[in-house]
Amino acid sequence: MKSLLPYAFAAVLCASGGGALAGELADAGTAAEAQVGHGQYLDALAALATAQDKVWEKSPLLFRKTIFVASDPQGFGIYDLHEGSTFKRSEKIILYAEPIGYGFRKDGELNVIDLSLDFEVRAKDGRLIGGQKAFASPQLRSRVQTHEFFVKVVYRYSAVPAGDYEVKTTVNDRTSGKSRSFTLPFTLTE
């Protein structure tokens, strides 16, 4: 049975103005299908990885996931969910995010992911409680251009009164110049 995946990618990219790239993706999918048919699985995966890299480069900075977690993540996708969005004022709030579309810069043989984070906290009525530019600088140095990277942020709001708030976290990619924010509402209790 023939896979429709390469053609679905092509249709989405054509609709978004990426006609030339859509053809390349369809070609990569067709080549990968043929390679699988000949038992060349590593070659098929390499063809699809090349296509993924092209989509990655064109993508704006986006997030697969932005959630509160119960403890420090142990790696990409390795975390315990925090139930709900309510926290005691005395406890730390751990945010986990999986960005996509970031760039890579070279440092010798290494590929470097180089981000900078800003945040703002607002009360439910929109009043600014506080924030900071460039408060964290997550980086990763790897021999491969990994698409599995996560950002962990720990917020402490013990000096903020109990109530409903939202935290806006902005991720700035120092390599590509891309930037994107996400906002998560939360409640502080005594």
Q: Who's near 83: CB < 8 A, 6+ residues apart? A: 70
Distances (CA, A) of 16 to 11, 33, 45, 147, 188: 9, 25, 25, 22, 42
Question: Residue 94: what pLDDT?
Answer: 98
Residue 188 parent element (H or E): strand 179-189
Band (pLDDT 50/70/90 cuts) for residue 153 is very high
Does residue 184 contact residue 85 with C-beta atoms inside 8 Å?
yes
What 3-state class would DSSP assign to 135? strand
* Rounded mean pLDDT, 27-36: 91
Residue 171: strand pairing partners: 117, 180
pLDDT in tens, 48-93: 999 999 999 999 999 999 999 999 999 999 999 999 999 999 999 9
Question: Residue 8: what pLDDT?
Answer: 36
pLDDT in tens, 163-175: 999 999 999 999 9
> What are the boundaries of each domain within the chain?
5-58, 62-189
* Rounded mean pLDDT, 140-160: 96
pTM (2 decimals)?
0.84
Does residue 151 contact residue 138 with C-beta atoms inside 8 Å?
yes
CATH hierarchy code of domain 62-189: 2.60.40.2550
Q: Who's near 159: CB < 8 A, 6+ residues apart? A: none
Looking at per-residue confidence, does 11 or 127 come out higher? 127
For all residues of the chain together, what is the average pLDDT?
A: 90
